[in-house]
Amino acid sequence: MAGVTISTVDGGFIQALPVNMGTAAANVLVAALAANRNRVYKLVVVSAAAQTVQFQDGATNLTGPIPLTTGVPLVLPMDGQPWLTSSIGNALNITQSSAVNLSGGVWFSQNPL
């Protein structure tokens, strides 16, 4: 079977990380990397209970509160364009409204462009 190459807008490589969080605070989704931007190309998360989540570039809100329903996944599908982008040197965070389990995966790139 042939492999698939996914081109990113920044020329970076797609990396994947599991998501497993559970505190009512800002949680790091993709850690900061000096002199680089983080770009999220795909995200799948599901909450163990109803809550809201908000995505942030460091401490700056990128979205408003997004309501999650118990067991219903939030899916940002891979489409070639990033859904979330940090400024250079900042982490991408998720702030949860409740201390309940939020799990899934994130696909991202880190590149200075």
Predicted structure pTM score:
0.89
- CATH level 3 topology of 15-111: Jelly Rolls (2.60.120)
- Contact indicator for 104, 45 with CB cutoff of 8 Å: yes
CA distance 51 to 66: 8
| Residue 22 burial (CB count, 10 A) | 14
The domain segmentation of the chain, as residue ranges, is 15-111
pLDDT tens digits along 70-106:
999 999 999 889 999 999 999 999 999 999 999 999 9
Local confidence band at 1 (pLDDT 50, 70, 90 cut-offs): very low
